[in-house]
Amino acid sequence: MSLLTKIALNTVGVVCVGLGVLGIVLPLLPATPFLLLASACFVRGSERLNRRLLENKYLGPYITNIKERRGLPLRAKVYTLLLLWPSILLSAYRLNSLPLLLLLVACGSIGTAVVLSLKTLKE
pLDDT 10s digits, 31-62: 877 888 899 999 999 999 999 999 999 899 88
Domain definitions of the chain by residue range: 1-70, 72-123
DSSP type of residue 96: -
Other CB atoms within a 10 A radius of the CB of residue 6 amount to 14
State residue 121 phi and psi, 5-degree precision. -90, 145
Q: Nearest CA to 49 among 59, 57, 41?
A: 41
State residue 119 phi and psi, 5-degree precision. -60, 145
pLDDT 10s digits, 72-103: 788 878 877 887 888 888 888 888 889 988 99
The two beta strands, 72-73 and 120-121, are parallel
Q: Output the average pLDDT for the chain.
A: 87
Do 63 and 35 contact (CB within 8 A), yes or no?
yes
Assign 123 a pLDDT band (cuts: 50, 70, 90): low
Residue 58: strand, helix, or coil:
coil
Do 40 and 47 contact (CB within 8 A), yes or no?
no
What pLDDT is stored for residue 45 in this prediction? 94
* pTM score: 0.65
